[in-house]
Structure formats: structure tokens, C-alpha cells
Structure 1
Amino acid sequence: MVVRCLVVFGLLGLFQASLGPLIPLLSDREHLTPATAGLIVTGFFGGCLVSTAVGGALTERWARGPLYIVSILLFLCGLGLFALPLAWPLPLVAVAVAGLGFGGLVLIVNTVMAAEGVTYVNLVNGTYGLGAAAGPALISVTHGGYLYAVLAVCLLVSLPLRMTMPAAATRERLTVSPVLLLFCAMLFCYAGVETGLSSWEATQLRAHGYAPDTASALTSLFWLGLAAGRLLVPVVTRSWTAVRILVTALLACAAGLTLIAVDVSAPAGFFLLGVFAGPIFPTTLAWIAATLPHPRRVNAVVLTIAMLGNATLPTLIGYGMQATSDLALPLFVAVGVFGCLAIVVALRKATR
């Protein structure tokens, strides 16, 4: 089952990563502004947010089987609709349906892997990054279309036949504490970093003068870096504390943002930003596991807030770029980076 979960997460990563490079292509095809086309990211993560929140509110009986089945069906339906040459705004509806299934699957897989240990959380998120690296390259070749139909078939074949949440030893009662709120704020701000960069990388590269297909293909560099960061950094920094890893990664991200502001170094800058940002999400999950009870409901809360950030912050960045410049991405992402840094400092004091 673990191997199948890794494959499933790789395919989920491929789908999410294809949305950013699709924005300029959809904008050209439907004659939309980039910010309007970027609403597919908001619609997708809006669906994710709803399903993650609902999954956390379900009773144990409904969360340990039906949630998995319903999530599969919704995601496959969304993929099938998205594969069709639909006129705007129907692609927005299709991607929102896919998001409903996606959010449930992310909640289930992360919870199941967390029960296996922190190493598996890093591993599964690393394979997510590897799958995501293939998405932009495939978009540059196929321009979407049948790619999503093929992805739906591959996902259907790869899905585990059975997946259940780990049973809770006692009835779960969620306590909202200042520490939990800080962790939620941390993942909300981080969404502006990861999803902001991945959603608008192709637009930023096009503004630097790269051809549309080249810009879409180069988006894979960020996801390759993200996978490398999640698979390698935990090994290299095995003796480091969570605070040390996060502070180092965030400061490196702040430095890396200067590279994507220059046309020549932008592709390498996005790769390095992926490496630096890679360990932030898994390390935060590990820190949560060591600090708070880690049942499904806590996972659902922090992931729901992360999805809220994914649904809102990229759109705000898109409209900010539209109002200023397509080259302003580093400035908007820097807000999320320094927000995360401030929250890590507050968490360090709160969890002593």
C-alpha cells in the first residue's frame, strides 16, 4: 500500500504543477488576462479546502472508507471534464470538482503516512515533487487536453484497492490553542511561497523574454528542486532541530528571490528556491507531530488552512502583478517568506 500511495501522490503532484504553466496558455486561448486565467488555481484549491474541511469534520466511520471512495470519484470526474476543450468558465468548474477529490486524497494519504512515521511523510511529499516536475514539461508538449485523460487512467490503475484512516485510540477532541493557531498561520503564509512561485513562474519567465513553451517547460525546475529539498535535506540535516531547518530554509529562500529577478539567473533561481522551500512543509508537519496530538482532525485543520492560503494568496499575487508588473513576483513572495520567519520565531518561544 505504501508504494501505491507514493505513486498516487506523484500523480497528484503532476496535476497540481500543470496548472501554473497552463495559465498563460489558457489566457492566450480564451483571450483572458493572466489574473483571470489564474482563477483556475483558486478554483482548484477552493475545492481542496472544502473537501479537507469536510474530511476533518466527518466521524471515524465515514472518514475510514467513504471519504476515500468519494474523493477518487470526484477527482476522476474533474480530470475527465478538464480534458475536454471547454469554453471559459467551464474549465474553472472542472478544476474545482477535481479539487474536491484532490483535497480528500491529500488528507487521507498524509494521515496514513504519518501513522507510518515522519520519514514516510517526507518521502511521500518528495514523490509529490517528483511528479510535479513532470507536469510543466508535459504541458509544454501537449498544451493540456488528452494529458488529463491519460492522467485519470494512470491514477485509476495506481490507486490502492483499499485505504483507511488509522483508528483513534480514544474519541478525538480538538483543542484550539495558540500553538495550533500559529502552526496554521505558518502553513497559510507558506502557501504564498510554494503555490505563489509555482503558479506564476511561467508568467515571470515569459516577462523575462522566454518563449511560452520554454517558460512552461522550465517550470519543472522549481518542482525538481522541491523534490530534492524534501528527499535530501532531511538526510543532510538529520541532527538539526526543526527551528534550525526552517530558519535556514526561509533565509535561503529570501536570498534566492533575488536570482529570479534577473532574466539570466531566473531558471536556476527557481530551482534553488525549490530546494530551499522543499523541507519547510514536511518539517512543519513533523514539528506539529512532536508538539501537538496528531490525529486526523488536527491534520485536517492545518491542511485546510494551508488550502485556504493556496486558494487565496496566488490570486492576490496575480492581481498584484497585474497592477504593477509581471516581474514583481519576488516582492510578493517575499511577504510570505518573512511572514513565515516571524511565525517560526513566535513558535519557538511558544513551544519551549
Structure 2
Amino acid sequence: MVVRCAVVFGLLGLFQATLGPLIPLLRDRENLDAATAGLIVTGFFGGSLVSTAVGGALSDRWARGPLYLTSAGLFLSGLVALALPVAWPFPLLAVTVAGLGFGGLVLIVNTVMAASGLTHVTMVNGVFGLGAAAGPALISITHGGYVFAVLAVGVLVALPLRMPVPAANASHERLTVSPVLILFCGMLFCYAGVETALGSWEATHLRAHGYAPDTAAALTSLFWLGLAAGRLLLPVVTRSWSTSRILVTALLACGGGLIVIAPAASAPVGFFLLGMFAGPVFPTTLAWIADTLPHPRRVNAVVLTVAMLGNATIPALIGYGLQTTSALALPLFVAVALASCLAIVVALRVRTQSVESRE
């Protein structure tokens, strides 16, 4: 089941990474302005956020079967609809439906893998990064179309027949909003914003350094490749490390990566290093949550919903900052969010020290 979940996550990553390159294709095909074509990203993340929040509110009985089957059906339906040569706004509707399925699948797979241990959740998220690195290249080569039909077939074949969602202890109790939960939410809000901002503004930063537009666009895959490498190498390098040690080391190393992207000559290498250092943060945090808090599915639904808000908010704020200052100021803005992550990890370490001492 772990291998099939990893393959599904790779295909989910590939799909998410196709949305950016899909925008100019839709603009040319449908004669849309940039803001209108960009609504596909809003629709996708909006659908994902809704399904993640709803998935967390469902009872355990409904989450075990109906949520998984409904999410898979919605995602496949959205992919098939995107493969059809139909006019706008049908692609927007299709991508929103796919987002509804995407959010549910991400919630379920992450919850199951996090309960299985750091190695499993890290592996599936690493394969997600590999898929994300491949997505833009496939769209640029094929110009969309049948890519989504092939994706639908791949997801259908790879999906596990059933997903054994772990049962929560005393599931009839309400989820307690504790200081630790708030800190985890803040951590993933900031980190998710950092990850999305680096992936979104990498090409802009490289162009400001003087790289040609086509070259800068091609080099955007370096961050995602680094992200996948960091997640896949994590279990080998940090086998005996605590979760807090992994996070502190990774975040400090990201600070070094920001220094490397400042000069023009080393900027591409710096983005790869940033991806590699940032890669362990998300899966390690999920594993820490699973070891610390009860009701893993409900807690994951809360923190993943907050993370999606970070995906939408922090890149936009950084974009406004770059517009008012300079595209070369990207390292400074990202450093603020990374410093927030580091401060929250230290606070979490203090709060959960008694839990870790019993492990």
C-alpha cells in the first residue's frame, strides 16, 4: 500500500505543478487575460481547502470509506473533464472539482503515512516533489490535452483499493484547541508559504539576476528536484535524530541557501539547495504531530487547512513586497518567514519535551 500511495502522491504533485504552465496555454487558447486564466489556481486551492476542512469534520466512520471514495471520484472526474477540448469557464469548473478530490486524498494519505512513521510520510512526500518537478516539462512538451487523461488512468490504476484510516481514540470527543495545536498551525502556515513562495517567485528572481526568460523558466524545476531529494534522503541521513533536531537543522540550513541565491552566478544552485534543505520540514512536522496530538485525521485537517491559507497568503504578501522594492529582495522576505518557523519550532520543543522524553 505504501508504494501505491507514493505513486498516487507523485501524480498529485505532477498535477499541481501543471497549473502554472497551464495558465498561458489557456490564455492563448481562450483569449483570456492573465487574471481570469489565473482563476484556475484559485479554484484548485479553494476546492482543496474545502475538502480538507470537511474531511476533518467528518466522523471516523464516514472518513474511512466515503471520504476516500468520494475524493478519488472527484479528482478523477476533474482530470477527465480537463482532458476535454471545451471552452472557458468549463476548465475552471474542472480544476475546482479536481481540487475537491485532491484535498481529501492529501489529507487521507498524509494521515495514514504519518501514523506509520517518519520514513513513510517522508517517502510519499518526496515522490510528490518528483512529480511536481516533472509537471511543467510535460505541459510544455505536450501543451496539455491528453496529459490529464493519462494522469486519470495512472491515478485510477495506482489508487489503493481501500485506505485504512487510523481510528482516533475516543473519537466522539471534540478536538481540543491546545497551545501545541496552535503552534503547529503557525508552523505549517509559515512553512507552506515559504515553499510556495520559493516555487512561485524563483523564475522572477532569476530573471532579475539577468537570466533569459526561457532559461529562468526551465531552472524552476531545480527547487522541486531539491525538495524531492531532501525528503527521500532524510531517513538515511537523520535516522537517529529527533524531530525537533531535524527541523532546527533544516531551517538553519535554509538560511544558508538564501545567502547562495543572492549572487547571480550561484542562484540556480542556491534554489536547489533551498529545496533540499526545506524538503524535510513538512513531512517531519506531520510525523511530530502524529506522535504528539490525538485524533490525527482531525488535527491534520486543521493544520493542512491552515497550511493552504499560508500557500495563498504569504506568496501574495512577498509578491507585493517584491513589487514595491525589488525582485532581488526575495531572500530577505523569505528569511522573515523562516525565522518565524524556527521560533515556533523552539517553542514546540519546549512544550512537547515531556512527550519526546518518553519516546
Instruction: Give TM-score, length-normalised by structure 2.
Output: 0.87
The answer on whether the counterparts of 1:11 and 1:151 sit within 8 Å (CA) in structure 2 is: yes
Unaligned runs of 5+ in 2: 354-359
The answer on whether the counterparts of 1:72 and 1:101 sit within 8 Å (CA) in structure 2 is: yes
From the superposition, tell whether residues 269 and 117 of structure 1 become closer, same or farther in structure 2 (CA, over 3 Å).
Answer: same
From the superposition, tell whether residues 88 and 253 of structure 1 become closer, same or farther in structure 2 (CA, over 3 Å).
Answer: farther
User: Which residue of 1 is the match for residue 19 of structure 2?
Assistant: 19
Deviation, 1:348, is 2.1
Q: Which moved more, 1:124-133 or 1:251-260?
A: 251-260
From the superposition, tell whether residues 216 and 150 of structure 1 become closer, same or farther in structure 2 (CA, over 3 Å).
Answer: farther
User: Which residue of 1 is the match for residue 177 of structure 2?
Assistant: 176
Alignment partner of 1:298 is 2:296: no
User: Which residue of 2 is the match for residue 314 of structure 1?
Assistant: 315
CA distance in 2: counterparts of 1:203 and 1:257, whole angstroms: 15
CA distance in 2: counterparts of 1:266 and 1:17, whole angstroms: 21
Q: Which moved more, 1:117-126 or 1:156-165?
A: 156-165
User: Which residue of 2 is the match for residue 55 of structure 1?
Assistant: 55
From the superposition, tell whether residues 161 and 26 of structure 1 become closer, same or farther in structure 2 (CA, over 3 Å).
Answer: same
The answer on whether the counterparts of 2:122 and 2:234 sit within 8 Å (CA) in structure 1 is: no
What residue identity is the alignment partner of 2:159?
Answer: L
User: Which residue of 2 is the match for residue 199 of structure 1?
Assistant: 200
Q: Deviations over 1:158-190 (max 9, x none)?
A: 222222422335325311100110001000000
Deviation, 1:48, is 1.1
Deviation, 1:7, is 0.7
Deviation, 1:51, is 0.4
The answer on whether the counterparts of 1:172 and 1:297 sit within 8 Å (CA) in structure 2 is: no
What residue identity is the alignment partner of 2:155?
Answer: L
CA distance in 2: counterparts of 1:12 and 1:338, whole angstroms: 29
The answer on whether the counterparts of 1:44 and 1:311 sit within 8 Å (CA) in structure 2 is: no
CA distance in 2: counterparts of 1:32 and 1:320, whole angstroms: 23
Instruction: Give TM-score, length-normalised by structure 1.
Output: 0.89
CA distance in 2: counterparts of 1:86 and 1:195, whole angstroms: 30
CA distance in 2: counterparts of 1:223 and 1:113, whole angstroms: 21
From the superposition, tell whether residues 289 and 215 of structure 1 become closer, same or farther in structure 2 (CA, over 3 Å).
Answer: same
Q: Which moved more, 1:230-239 or 1:205-214?
A: 205-214
Deviation, 1:218, is 2.2
Q: Deviations over 1:181-207 (max 9, x none)?
A: 000100000011111112232333344
CA distance in 2: counterparts of 1:54 and 1:40, whole angstroms: 21
Alignment partner of 1:266 is 2:267: yes
Deviation, 1:57, is 0.5
User: Which residue of 2 is the match for residue 128 of structure 1?
Assistant: 128
What residue identity is the alignment partner of 1:105?
Answer: L
CA distance in 2: counterparts of 1:143 and 1:335, whole angstroms: 37
The answer on whether the counterparts of 1:55 and 1:63 sit within 8 Å (CA) in structure 2 is: yes
User: Which residue of 1 is the match for residue 167 of structure 2?
Assistant: 167
What residue identity is the alignment partner of 1:275?
Answer: M
The answer on whether the counterparts of 2:258 and 2:331 sit within 8 Å (CA) in structure 1 is: yes
Residue pairs, 1:91-240, within 5 angstroms: 91-173=91-173, 174-240=175-241
Partner secondary structure for residue 257 of structure 1? helix
Q: Which moved more, 1:146-155 or 1:6-15?
A: 146-155
Q: Deviations over 1:111-142 (max 9, x none)?
A: 22233332211111111112222112223323
What residue identity is the alignment partner of 2:199?
Answer: S
What residue identity is the alignment partner of 2:145?
Answer: G
User: Which residue of 2 is the match for residue 347 of structure 1?
Assistant: 348
Deviation, 1:261, is 3.5
User: Which residue of 1 is the match for residue 75 of structure 2?
Assistant: 75
The answer on whether the counterparts of 1:20 and 1:201 sit within 8 Å (CA) in structure 2 is: no
Q: Deviations over 1:237-281 (max 9, x none)?
A: 222222222122112212212333333322211111110000101
User: Which residue of 2 is the match for residue 10 of structure 1?
Assistant: 10
What residue identity is the alignment partner of 2:108?
Answer: I
Deviation, 1:332, is 2.9
Q: Which moved more, 1:220-229 or 1:240-249?
A: 240-249
Partner secondary structure for residue 197 of structure 2? helix
The structure, 1 or 2, with the larger RCO (C-alpha pairs under 8 Å, 6+ apart) is 1
The answer on whether the counterparts of 1:74 and 1:101 sit within 8 Å (CA) in structure 2 is: yes
Q: Which moved more, 1:78-87 or 1:96-105?
A: 78-87
CA distance in 2: counterparts of 1:273 and 1:258, whole angstroms: 10
From the superposition, tell whether residues 21 and 336 of structure 1 become closer, same or farther in structure 2 (CA, over 3 Å).
Answer: farther
Identity level (%):
78
The answer on whether the counterparts of 1:46 and 1:308 sit within 8 Å (CA) in structure 2 is: no
What residue identity is the alignment partner of 2:288?
Answer: W
CA distance in 1: counterparts of 2:84 and 2:325, whole angstroms: 34
Partner secondary structure for residue 144 of structure 1? coil
User: Which residue of 2 is the match for residue 338 of structure 1?
Assistant: 339
Q: Deviations over 1:296-322 (max 9, x none)?
A: 111211111112212333333334444
Deviation, 1:151, is 1.4
Q: What is the aligned residue count? A: 351
